Amino acid sequence: MKNVRVILWVVLTAICVSCGTTSRVPITGRKQHLIVSDQQILSLSSQQYQEYMKTAKISTNAQNTAMVKRVGQRLATAVVDYLKANGLGDEVSQYQWEFNLVQNNSVNAFCMPGGKIVVYEGILPVTRDEASLAVVLGHEIAHAVAKHSAERISNDYRQQYGIQILGGVAQAAGVSTELQQLGAGVLGIGAQAWSSGFSRSQESEADHIGLIFAAMAGYDPQVAVTFWQRMSSATGGGSSSIFSDHPSDAKRIKQIQKWMPEVLPYYKPATTSASTSSSATSQSKTKAIPKSTKTLHISSKK
């Protein structure tokens, strides 16, 4: 009887892991397995975004706000055009792009599924110019296009099912309660480390794709190196802990330099007027880069 129970739990595990859809991330071609639908993610994202915006304080700096929206929309247009040209337009057909600048001194920005991107005022003294801002926004758009939030939620579901199912298997096999609890604790730590590594992988992928998106929109991707050097100064270099969900700034810079030969062919400088929001960023240029004890998220918001 115990063997039958174990087999049933194993079958249930296989069902939980196998359900969903498999797709490939644009640009990198990496396979991803999602067990939540676009409709579910976009609905949840829309609700959370609306709740956040009710409490957020919108920036009163009209010039910087216009800059964020202008750079963001230019990127979004280039990305959508690229996806459509490569038969991937359906991937973002339900997205409603929105770029907001909010009053917050944190050196940060975040993305929610469906094209909802928020930039904190505190990051502008670090970006300093539109090209560097495009690096940040390209990164955020990459999170949205690569469906990293859906992937992370799918991963969380699998971990929860895995812990519950493992407990059922152990119980069916007659393992003591104490040993079951110990095993669950060890699995929890292992899952945390794996999840953090998975998130670091997503962050690197967003860096990679985001650079290409910025280049597609006519922004020089080479400014990413000096931007991350400034970011390292502002945030203390990032964290290299195994449980950190972001790469260290030094590793990011090294990866960016490695990707540059691949990225530069996408770069065709945009023909715009000589004035590129110098007045919009003049305030940022005169400020000292703020010191922060928080690592820049530049990540999909949970």
Known catalytic residues are: 140
Is the four-CA dihedral 246, 284, 121, 271 of positive or negative sign? negative
With left for phi above 0 and alpha for psi between -120 and 50, is residue 104 left, alpha or beta? Answer: beta
What distance in Å separates the CA atoms of residue 189 and residue 201, rounded to the nearest whole number? 18
DSSP-assigned states of every residue in 252-275: HHHHHHHHHHHHGGG-------S-
Q: What single DSSP character describes residue 92?
A: G
Number of C-beta neighbours around residue 125 at 10 A: 20
Is the four-CA dihedral 26, 28, 31, 34 of positive or negative sign? negative
What distance in Å separates the CA atoms of residue 109 and residue 285, rounded to the nearest whole number? 19
Contacts of 237 by beta carbon, 8 Å cutoff, 6+ apart: 248, 249, 250
Contacts of 258 by beta carbon, 8 Å cutoff, 6+ apart: none
Nearest 5°: CA angle at 276, between 275 and 281?
Answer: 115
Contact 255, 207 (CB under 8 A): yes
Contact 86, 269 (CB under 8 A): no
